Amino acid sequence: MTDLNAPEIADTVRWLERAVIGLNLCPFAKAPHVKGQIHYVLSEAKGLEGLRDELIEQLQAMAAMPAQARETVLLIVPQMLQDFLEFNDFLDEADAVLQELDMEGVFQVASFHPQFQFADTEPDDFGNFTNRSPYPTLHLLREESIDRAVEAFPEAEMIYETNIETLEKLGVEGWQALDVGPSP
């Protein structure tokens, strides 16, 4: 059961509003947020098998609902996978779940993590901040929604480069001033 008043969810919403939407890191995030189509789930899993089960449950629930009711899901995992490499390894399991459920091409799983690091970058590279969230988070997306968003945004491939410029201008102090980390 998800408590929408849980601090982890409040922290995630604050991060979404201030960083993702506020800095326009994802031009596709505002509409589902404003329309209340983002479903926030606080993982209660104590192990990888439990997290896998929660992922399956959320994908099946999402498949059973129209996009107008549930466009996307943020599965927030505050109790485990604090190590980014362990979290990254779990993404292979998430992809396997999509395959097992025959949901490849229907849904995809994007990832956010407090120590997110793209391959071949240094930990403090500003590009990594585009995917840094207060807690390890699995973002469940509808492929058709991504396709529609990319059609509406003619230069979607430029988003990453624009984000780097935005974050470099903001700087470390600016990022810290956003206060988008976990609550103390």
Residues 41-51: pLDDT tens digits? 999 999 999 99
> Does any domain span residue 168?
yes
What residue numbers bound the domain in which 33 lies?
7-176
pTM, two decimal places? 0.94
> Does any domain span residue 182?
no
> Does any domain span residue 99?
yes
> Does any domain span residue 71?
yes
> Does any domain span residue 144?
yes
> Does any domain span residue 52?
yes
- Residue 122: which residues within 8 A CB-CB, separation 6 or more? none
Residues 132-170: pLDDT tens digits? 999 999 999 999 988 887 787 777 778 888 998 999 999
> Does any domain span residue 164?
yes
